[in-house]
Every structure is written in C-alpha cells, then in structure tokens.
Chain A
Amino acid sequence: MPKEAAEPHPIRPARPRLAPRTAYLLQRVLAPNAFYRRLAAAVERFPVLRRLFTATEKRAKEPLFGCRMCGQCALPVTGYACPMSCPKELRNGPCGGVGADGSCEVHPEMRCVWVVAYERAASQGRPGDLRRLHRPVDHRRWGESAWLNYWQGREDTLWTTEDVLSPALRAGEPSAAGADEPAPGEGEPGEVQTGELQWNS
C-alpha cells in the first residue's frame, strides 16, 4: 500500500447509514407530484427562499448520505448510497479495484460505495435499479438543489428508464457460441436494438 494511511475523505455519511427501508419510504414521500412541482416553482421565484431551501437540503443530505450537492441526485436508483462519495465519482457501478473485503481501493478504511449500494438495493428487492445507464454529470449544476430539479422534472433523463439487461433489450436470442450466422437484423456485438439508449433523450 502507498505510504500514508489515506487522508480522511472530506464528506462521509454518518454511521449508521439511514436504513434502506426508511430511505425507500422517504422516496415515496418525496416523489414528484403537482404540489411539489408548484412548491418548487414558487421557491425558485425568490432567490432568498431558493438559497434557504438549498441550504436546508444540504444540511439534511450531507450527514445522511455524504451528499456533495452535485445537483443531480442518483440516490433513488443507487440504494441511497451516494455515487459522488466514490473517489472516482463513478455513476454506473464500482471500479475493478474493490478489495476482496469490499473496501475502497483509494480509501481502504471505507467500504466501496457501490458494494454498499448493491447490498442496500438488493435488500429491498431492487437490484435492477443498478442496471440502468447513468448519463454523465452536468458540472454546471454543482451546488443546485436536486430536490427542486427533481420535482420539476429536470432529472428525468439522468439515467435510462430501462434495465439495460432486460431480455427485451438483448440483441437476439442466444444461440450456440459462434455457431450460426446471426439472423437478419441482428446486431453485431455491442449493438443495442432500441431507441432507449439514445445519448440525448
């Protein structure tokens, strides 16, 4: 291991983490609806109110999730383990350097965020959440309120709505390896037969 025992990572979620059940319950409570949409629009009309609201969100989410205020929250589909607390800020799953014990390669005293995410999502019967493709972070949004964005539908395209491993998205039915010519219309390896994975949606 490199010399020093890793400088502490700046923001970490409080221990113990919010129970996954509670987190998903919160998801239902905070789900966008007409009331929240109007509330968010109203808050955004007044800069002071907006700053206050954003600060409150930060106060709540920083200790709960180690939130960095990226302004585009992935928590609903990552078992409420924040991918931005990964030292590589990976939004689509763990890197290949996770220790055999599930530790982070960069901060070995911390568990890999994605190991935590996988366990938490799976424990609530939602492992499919992790099979969506996340689009890149928009770095203009740092510091914004993700809740205001979420309630006003600005986060609808952060990730694909489909589980990209669902059979419907597979390029043709599996046949014996390397046996036949692919059926007409069947793609080459890597091709996805759907409009779902458009870069801009």
Chain B
Amino acid sequence: MELVSTSALRARLAAGGFAVTAEISPPRGASGDPVRRKADLLRGWVDAVNVTDNQGAHVRLSSMAGSMVALSAGLEPIMQMTCRDRNRIALQSDLLGASALGIRNVLVMTGDHPKFGDHPGAKPVFDLDSIQFLWAARTMRDEGTLMSGRTLNPPPDCFLGAVENPFAPPAGFRAERLGKKVAAGAQFVQTQFVFDVPAFGEWMSQVHDLGLHERCHILAGVGAIRSVRAMEFMADNVPGVYIPEETSRRLRGVPGDRVAEEGARIAAEVIQQVREIPGVAGVHLLAAGNEAAVPGVLSAAGLGLRDTVTGDAVAGDSHGR
C-alpha cells in the first residue's frame, strides 16, 4: 500500500508543472498574526511557502509554529530546518513532530553562523551538516529507522528539500555538492538569489551533465530588490548573495521612488529567463521582507493565480510515494 503524500508542492512538481514558492519570516514576538497576514497576501499565488528558521541567526518565532500558522491559514508550508541550533536528537525529534502535525515539506540547510545574528555568543551546534541530516531524514522516512537504527512507528512522511548556491566558490564543486545532497535524499532544491542568469545557466549545464535535474526538482531563487539600501545590505551582509554590476547599475540608474518598480521588473525578467533553461522546475521568491511585492512580480512574469493540484495527482504519478 503506497502512502499518499498530501504535499501540493510535490504534486505540482510530479505533474511536471512549473512550481512557485515564496518565503515568510516569522515575527519576533509570540503571535502568529503576522504569519497569517503574510499568508493572506500569498495564498493562491504560490504552491507552498518557506517558513524560515531563525534566519540570519536572529531569534524569531519557531519555524514549526510558523508552519502550523501558515497551514491553518490555508497555505502549504515548507518548514526550514537548519543544523545550527539543534543536535541530531532534536533534529530527528522535530522532523517527527512536523510530520505528525501535517507539515509535509521540509527544507534542510546548514544555517547561518550565530556570529551573524542577535546572539553572537551562542554555541554553534552543527552536530550534523545539511547533507548528513538529509541522509538521516531519508533513512527515517524510507527505512523507518532513526540514525541509531531504532525503528520508527510510523515513520515520518516528508518531501525533502535542500538549498544550493550556484555562485559560490569553488565553482567546479557546486553542482557536485547538489549531487551529494540528492544522493543523501534531497528531492527538490531552491537556489540562492539568481541575478546573474548566464552564471546560473552555466551551473545548470553542470547539473545536466550529472543528470541531477532528473532526480531532483530545481527551483531558481528570485527576489525583487526594493531599494538601493536593501541591495547594498544584501551584498555586504547576507553571506552568499552576489549582485552583478549590471543589476546594480539598473537599480541605481532610476530615481529613488522607482527603484522598487525596477527591482520587481528585474525579478520578473529573471523568472522569464530561468523558465527557458531546461531542467528548471520552478521559482522560489525570496521576499526579503517584501511579501507584498510577490503577486506583482509573478503576474508580470506571466505566472498568474495557481490552479489547484490535488493529492490525487500524486497517487497517479509514479514519482509519488
């Protein structure tokens, strides 16, 4: 008897559709209302939404609680899990908890170092790296065992995601690193911000050479920059974000009150360009606190409101499980 996942994201990807995901950062406070408000903005426009895990190592409402709020607001969550704050006991435990609560998508990442956050003196955990945790999560789901070998009853049901930065050195190893993640268990991947489409295309061709697009759904990260200050902040303070000269020139070349518009235009163009690259299965809108811009960018890129893909599509598709 096959287990039918209720992940709509998985259903969309399995059906060969072009997936759209976005991102919600939970608030610094003990209320789910901000998550609910952001979910209201995004519902209907995206297949699922990432709920970040104390991003930038700044304390926020937990990603599991935020995911539950999104789920109850009718928006499918992708729960982000970093290896920064939890050892292997807590990671496995939270994966079970998320599954029990009906959170069907989990995105595994190493996580920013505490040094960059609001508690720079915190102990960096990194007991597992993202690849080891993907491996553990897949083993838990598919073999029904913990890392210790003890059996799970029932095992968790999760669609496993990873992240990759196509632009970071060493350039020759980035596609291979994705390959390691896929071998470990990643079923979909969201990339870091794509501004430099030719460089992204170069990485995608390496991904093709390794056959990874056949084994993993690749979503290109796209974001609308809303001000020159935001751009400078991202370039200087967010590890792994590269903004090419061309993008910078375009944003600086318009009057201050038109930068957000130009940023949204660039994002829409990037979406249209990456869609043409074979093997790109969708886009991931990195909002950077600008969730309200997402619908505009998507409609400018020709991605209107989503039709619903039901779990039935999974049952009928051999990619499903």
Contacts and interface: CB of A to CB of B under 8 A. Distances in A.
A105 interface: yes
B116 A130 contact: no
B135 A189 contact: no
A98 B168 contact: yes
Interface of B: 16, 88, 109-110, 112-113, 115-116, 120, 124, 126-132, 135-136, 138-139, 142-143, 145, 147, 149, 160, 163-165, 167-170, 172-173, 176-177, 179-180, 182-188, 192, 208, 210-211, 213-217, 236-237, 239-240, 242, 278-279, 318-321
A65 interface: no
Nearest to A169: B183
B173 A135 contact: no
Given A96-B192, A171-B214, A189-B217, A87 B113 contact: yes
B239 A96 contact: yes
Contacts of A1: 236-237
Interface of A: 1-2, 6, 87-102, 105-106, 112, 114-115, 118-119, 122, 127, 130-131, 133-137, 139, 164-165, 169-175, 177-178, 181-182, 187-192, 197, 199-200
Given A98-B240, A105-B240, A199-B147, A189 B182 contact: yes
A136 B168 contact: no
Nearest to B188: A189
Given A131-B180, A170-B211, A95 B110 contact: yes
Contact of A188 (B169, B176, B208, B321): B321
9 contacts: A92-B132, A98-B165, A101-B169, A105-B240, A114-B170, A115-B169, A118-B172, A139-B127, A197-B184
B169 A112 contact: yes
B240 A189 contact: no
Given A88-B129, A174-B213, 6 more contacts: A95-B110, A96-B110, A102-B170, A112-B169, A119-B170, A189-B215
A100 B147 CA distance: 36
B234 to A, nearest CB: 13
B318 A118 contact: no
B126 A90 contact: yes
B183 A197 contact: yes
A165 B173 contact: no
B172 A127 contact: yes
Most buried by B among A105, A165, A172: A165
Contacts of A96: 109-110, 163-165, 168, 192, 239-240
Given A112-B169, A118-B170, A165-B176, A190 B215 contact: yes
A91 B214 contact: no
A3 to B, nearest CB: 9
B240 A192 contact: no
Contacts of A99: 169, 239
A139 B160 CA distance: 26
* The 9 nearest A-B residue pairs measured at CB: A97-B239, A96-B165, A164-B183, A105-B239, A190-B187, A92-B131, A118-B170, A178-B16, A174-B211
A88 B116 CA distance: 13
B212 to A, nearest CB: 9
Nearest to B187: A190
A93 B215 contact: no
B92 to A, nearest CB: 12
Given A165-B210, A190-B138, A199 B143 contact: yes
Nearest to A128: B176
B110 A90 contact: yes
Contacts of B129: 88-92
A101 B239 CA distance: 12
A23 to B, nearest CB: 18
B126 A89 contact: yes
A175 B217 CA distance: 14
Contact of A189 (B113, B169, B177, B187): B187
B318 A182 contact: yes
Contact of B169 (A102, A127, A191, A192): A102
A107 B18 CA distance: 39
Contacts of B279: 177
